[in-house]
Amino acid sequence: VYLYSDFLNLNKSNLSDPNRDYLFLSKGHDVPALYGTFAELGLMEKDRLKNHLKTNDSIYWHPNRNVPGVEFHSGSLGHLPAVAMGVALDCRMRNQKNKVLVVTGDGELNEGTVWETVLVASAQQLNNLTIVVDRNQFQANVATEDLVPLEPLADKFEAFGCAVKRIDGHDFNQLESAFRALPFHATKPSVIIADTVRGKGLPSIEARADRWFCNFSKDEIASLLKELHGDATTDLHSETLTVR
Amino acid sequence: MTYEELLKNTALADEKFVVMTAENRALVRNLPPVLKNRFIDTGITEQTMIGAAAGLALRGRVPVVHALASFLTMRAFEFIRTDVGIPNLPVKLSSFVPGFLSDGNGPTHQAIEDVSIMRGIPGMQVFCPADEQDLVLSLPKIWSSPHPSYVRINTRKSDYQHSTDFEIGKAEVVSSGTDVTLLVYGMLFDETLKAKAILEKEGLSVGLVNIRTLKPIDEKVILDIARKSELLVTIEDHFLIGGLYSILAETFLRNRMTAQVLPLSLTERWFKPALLQEVLNHEGFTGEKIAGKVIAELNKKPVSKA
């Protein structure tokens, strides 16, 4: 929300301008947040969200480039850091000053290509490339630290040649001061590790591995909406979908 | 002209071209000082190179990317399929030492399923030039196509003068024959030419087709020779499954036809690593051995005796 509404030089009128800022959503499963933000900011018509999973549109569980504002399709983890690096290389070749951001998950950091890309981007001294890690501590089924521990994460990125800041990803002031400080170093790619809570604002689902991909009932959704505004707790009975 | 000279001239004439490599410099050794920041060596990172090539292509560039055939097509397969194939970006894959050309490297380096897996990607075009001349005369059209492409790079010299009217999807018909037609692509072209000469000495009418483009395939030429020739022989440094023999089978089935076809391929095993001439000899792909297999096949069929 912060990036699209405030930071990025990106709006309805410059979506194909080569001087725009780029944001690549590598953790493609975050697409509801992306399209929700697009709809709120007028990049996408709100009605279009009703086409979710309809074959007459391209709105499904991962991003598709047929939706204006989506720079590249994602879904397979560990791809878009490399794609974003290619864009950043070209922006630099053309002496453009725009920024190229790529948002990854933390579980996604299991993928070797993230680290390959970081090595190459460091070698290329790409200071126009920023990797934003959504550090919500969970991957599909379990806590990251219970499976393939990532900490000390900032040290890892630093050792791979990046300049790193770690912030509270829910604090708009911290987001603002970190993003406004980009690039963090003249000859290094930047990394922002944003500590987040999955399901933030909804205590019934916050930080629960079994509550991130669910088919909630209408009543549950109504109650969750109230909960979001601080008035209820929700008794959730729906089964987690089992595609992961 | 060499591959490197052509690439240099192409990139100097058109800013769209960038040259990338996953530290496979054999074909592009002299390009870094000439192309400067349009030469990008990502190190031994085939997957990342392909992802970055997709990013460059999104920005309007035409990346010509280099890596050893087996790592380019297999290590980076999902990146090619997902980042290049799905958006149909004009990334041009130059695969080094494909097929038998990996000679002494061993099975890790043997790309003998590359045609099969690359042609399975929607929109991907697949080319296997016969030698350096064929390669250099084909590449301008391949590189200026809006589609992604996979090229089995083959810089071997040959005395054969190829027809210069290369078209994507068109085979080069070297000769027509009624007894047997040899269908070949890539580096085995030269040995197949030798086989043709031997068979002709035996009094046979021998056709020879340099397939050139494996995808899109020249269906018209294949159907035509199937009608004219008693026996077709597919000759490929590739697994039997998914290569030219499979392409023929698909083509015939699509057209409700059949033909007598002898496949000379690698069947369910990797080839014995050795220097190239030894490999050809051991695996039965010298001109003499190819001719011998064809004669044996013809002798099985009393009706086809010349």
Residue count of chain A: 244
For residues B230 and B38, give the distance between their C-alpha atoms in angstroms, rounded to a whole number: 52
* pLDDT number for residue B210: 98
Mean pLDDT value across residues B39-51: 98
Strands in A190-195's sheet, in edge-to-edge order, are: A22-25, A100-105, A129-135, A190-195, A163-168
Given a contact cutoff of 8 angstroms between Cβ atoms, the answer to whether B108 and B233 are in contact is: no
Contact partners, residue B101, CB within 8 Å, separation at least 6: B69, B154, B156, B187, B237, B276
pLDDT beyond 90 at A219: no
Task: Summarize the confidence of residues B187-195 as an average pLDDT.
Answer: 98
Work out the average pLDDT over B278-289.
98
Please name which of B297, B290, B243, B300 lies closest in space to residue B267, comparing C-alpha atoms.
B243
Tell whether B53 is within 8 A of chain A (Cβ).
Answer: yes
Nearest CA in chain B to A19: B59
For B43, nearest residue in chain A (alpha carbons): A120
pLDDT in tens, A149-165: 999 999 999 999 999 99
Among B38, B54, B61, select the one facing A83 at the smallest CB separation: B54
B250–chain A nearest CA distance, Å = 30
Instruction: Convert the pLDDT of each residue in A39-48 to its tens digit.
Output: 999 999 999 9
CA distance A78 to A115: 9
Residue B305 has pLDDT above 50, yes or no: no
* 3-state SS, residue A166: strand
Cα distances (Å, whole numbers) of residue B134 to A211, B51, B81, B210, B217:
59, 29, 27, 10, 17
**CB environment A112-126: b (16+ within 10 A), e (fewer):** ebbbbbbbbbbebeb
Contact list, B47 vs chain A (CB under 8 Å): 82, 113, 116
Would you tell me which residues 56-85 of chain A have a C-beta closer than 8 angstroms to some C-beta of chain B? 65, 71-73, 76, 79-85
Q: What angle do CA B233, B234, B235 make, to 5 degrees?
A: 110
> For the segment B9-42, what is each residue's pLDDT rounded down to a tens digit?
999 999 999 999 999 999 999 999 999 999 999 9
Closest residue in B to A120 (Cα) is B42
Cβ distance A88 to B82 less than 8 Å, yes or no, reads: no
Q: CA of B51 to nearest chain A CA: how many angstroms apart?
A: 5
| Mean pLDDT value across residues A116-122 | 98
Of residues B254, B51, B241, the one with CA closest to residue A120:
B51
Report the alpha-carbon distance of residue B200 to residue B306 in Å, rounded. Answer: 11
What residue of A is the nearest CA neighbor of B79?
A79
Residue A208 pLDDT class (50, 70, 90 cuts): confident
Provide the shortest C-alpha distance from residue A16 to chain B (in Å): 10
A92: chain B residues, CB-CB within 8 Å: 37
Kindly indicate the confidence band of residue A210, based on its pLDDT and cuts at 50, 70 and 90: confident
The arithmetic mean of pLDDT across residues A92-118, rounded, is: 97
Q: Does B247 touch chain A (CB under 8 A)?
A: no
Residue B127 CB coordination number (10 Å): 28
Q: Which of B50, B57, B59 sits opposite A18 (nearest CB)?
A: B59
Taking the Cβ of residue B104 and every Cβ of chain A, the question of whether any pair is shorter than 8 Å is answered with: no
Other C-beta atoms closer than 10 Å to the C-beta of A64 total 17
The CA–CA distances, whole Å, from B264 to A11, B111, B273, B285 equal 58, 17, 18, 8
Q: Residue A139: what are its φ and ψ, rounded to 5°?
A: -110, -165
CA B28 to CA B31: how far, in whole Å? 5
Q: If you average pLDDT over residues B89-114, what whole number do you get? A: 98
Query: Does residue B50 have a pLDDT over 60?
Result: yes
B36 and B81 Cβ atoms separated by less than 8 Å? no
Q: A12-51 pLDDT, tens per residue?
A: 999 999 999 999 999 999 999 999 999 999 999 999 999 9
Least CB–CB distance from B52: residue in A73, A85, A91: A85
Of B136, B184, B135, B131, nearest in space to B158 by CA: B131
ipTM: 0.94
Concatenated DSSP letters of B292-305? HHHHHHHHH-GGG-
Give residue A220's pLDDT.
86
pTM, to two decimals: 0.95
The string of DSSP letters for chain B reads: --HHHHHHHHHHH-TTEEEEESS--TTTTT-HHHHGGGEEE--S-HHHHHHHHHHHHHTT-EEEEEEEHHIIIIITHHHIIIIIITTT---EEEEES-GGGGGGG-GGG--SSHHHHHHTSTT-EEE--SSHHHHHHHHHHHHHSSS-EEEE------S----S---TT--EEEE--SSEEEEE-GGGHHHHHHHHHHHHHTT--EEEEE--EEES--HHHHHHHHHH-SEEEEEEEEESTTSHHHHHHHHHHHTT----EEEEEE-SSPPPPS-HHHHHHHHT-SHHHHHHHHHHHHHH-GGG--
- Estimate to the nearest angstrom the gap between the alpha carbon of A170 and the chain centroid: 13
Contact between A81 and B45 (Cβ < 8 Å): no
Decide if pLDDT at A244 tops 60. no
Q: What is the mean pLDDT of residues B74-92?
A: 98
pLDDT greater than 90 at residue B3: yes
Mean of the pLDDT values across residues A75-85? 97
A37/B contact by beta carbon, under 8 A: no
Q: Which of A79, A89, A91 sits opposite B79 (nearest CB)?
A: A79
Listed in sequence order, the DSSP H helices in chain A are 2, 31-41, 80-93, 112-123, 144-147, 153-159, 172-180, 218-228
Indicate yes or no: CB of B51 within 8 angstroms of CB of A80. yes
**For residue B88, what pLDDT is reported?**
98
**Quick one: angle between helices B189-201 and B287-300, nearest 10?**
50
In chain B, what percentage of residues exceed pLDDT 70? 98
For residue A240, what pLDDT is reported?
59
End-to-end distance of chain B based on CA atoms, in angstroms?
Answer: 42
Are A84 and B38 within 8 A, CB to CB?
Answer: no
pLDDT of A211 above 80? no
Q: Do A116 and B52 touch (CB under 8 A)?
A: no
pLDDT in tens, B232-252: 999 999 999 999 999 999 999
How, if at all, do strands B206-210 and B172-175 pair?
Answer: antiparallel
Decide if A119 and B55 are in contact by the 8 Å CB cutoff.
Answer: no
Which residues in chain B have their CB less than 8 angstroms from residue A120's CB?
A: 42-43, 45, 48, 52
Report yes or no: B61 at the A interface, CB cutoff 8 Å: yes
| Chain-chain contact of B59 with A116 (C-beta, under 8 angstroms) | no
Q: Output the pLDDT for position A228.
A: 87
Write the CB contacts of B201 (distance below 8 Å, at least 6 apart in sequence): none
Q: What is the band of B302 on the pLDDT scale with cuts at 50, 70, 90?
A: low
Would you state the pLDDT for residue B144? 97
- The partner residue sitting opposite A86, judged by closest CB among B47, B52, B87, is B52
Name the pairing type of β-strands B180-184 and B231-239: parallel
Residues of A in contact with B55 (CB under 8 A): 82-90
Q: How many CA atoms lie within 13 A of A14 on its CB side?
A: 12
| Best A19, A98, A116, A117 residue to mutate vs chain B (most B CBs within 10 Å) | A116
User: Does the pLDDT of residue B146 top 70, yes or no?
Assistant: yes
Residue A241 clears pLDDT 90, i.e. is over it: no
Matching residue, tokens 């791809």: A79
